[in-house]
Structure 1
């Protein structure tokens, strides 16, 4: 799988303009990336490796409204994290919209500056911990009386499916990106996890 870099899409969004197709969620886009100087150290351990991650986010549960294929909530504090990195401009805009709605400005997009091949491999080796957490969340929240929890349980199932099918290929492409500062060309070998 070839890694797709979402950062040029993020940079192309001018401050003060709505995100394409998401004006109902983001009337005027203005994100505060870098608001938390220690965000990387405070990131949620459930974030998948990649440029975007949630650290000290709010607990309002709004991210899935605009980015259900990318954002999930933890069960301890309700903080948001990124369980699937974007692969298209539209998906990038959706994560940006989720970040825009966070009053704590707790999302970051500097993961490429922090993830190393060793850290990515460590995260992958420990994926069973994340998978077990998501399975437990699904079992608990899918029977909740709270409609929002039942909806988020679907996100937990999607996260498990992503871990089981596709995340490994994405991470191999991301490892190549981290090592070579470019996406792999067709037929070019990708590093192992």
Structure 2
């Protein structure tokens, strides 16, 4: 893996050192997540379609999991730029369908956070904050349009270790005990 300009990222163990216990709750379920990353706001410059900043400490959050090699490269490049080495890619070892359902059930909290941070940053005189607000708009749109299907696909994959076939039913994200 490397940057588009040919620089290599190096061994993932050198820069993917985040821990599940420290992941930010705003990360979308999936293999890659931010866990106590830096607050330099560099991730969106590398992976704007996948990274947003949280407003508590400015840490980076993965709001859209990569779906192809180019997107993986972008997100891993964002992780590589993090001096705290707070990203991780072991989410598949921790997520399961019930945890995904719990995360999805709490989306009102997520929407409230996105809307509050967006209001603050979009009216700022600071260009970086206005750009961060754009990322939140993108996250909000994804939350309302494509995220549920992604989570259903991911839940199926976790349970079956393969993608769903066209005739197979994806799991419901409503709570089941």
What TM-score, normalized by structure 1, do the two folds share? 0.85
Residue 67 of structure 2 corresponds to: 87
Q: By how many angstroms is 1:137 displaced?
A: 0.9
In the TM superposition, residue 33 of structure 1 has moved relative to its aligned partner by: 4.9
What displacement does 1:27 show? 2.3
SS at 1:41 equivalent: helix
Whether contact under 8 Å (1:33, 1:109) holds in the other structure is no
Q: How does 1:1-193 map to 2 (within 5 A)?
A: 13=1, 18-19=2-3, 22-23=4-5, 27-30=7-10, 31=12, 32-36=14-18, 39-193=19-173
Runs of 4+ in 1 over 2 A off after TM superposition: 31-36
Q: Which secondary structure does the structure 1 equivalent of 2:41 belong to?
A: coil
For residues 87 and 128 of structure 1, the distance between their equivalents in structure 2, rounded to whole angstroms, comes to 25
Alpha-carbon RMSD across the aligned residues, in angstroms, is: 1.2
User: Separation in 2 of the partners of 1:27 and 1:163?
Assistant: 33
Contact 1:117 1:178 in 2 (8 A): yes
Unaligned runs of 5+ in 2: none
Structure 2: distance between partners of 1:51 and 1:149? 27
Secondary structure at 1:95 match in 2: helix
Unaligned 5+ runs, structure 1: 1-12
Count how many residue pairs are aligned between Structure 1 and Structure 2.
171
> Is the 2:15–2:80 Cα contact (8 Å) retained in structure 1?
no
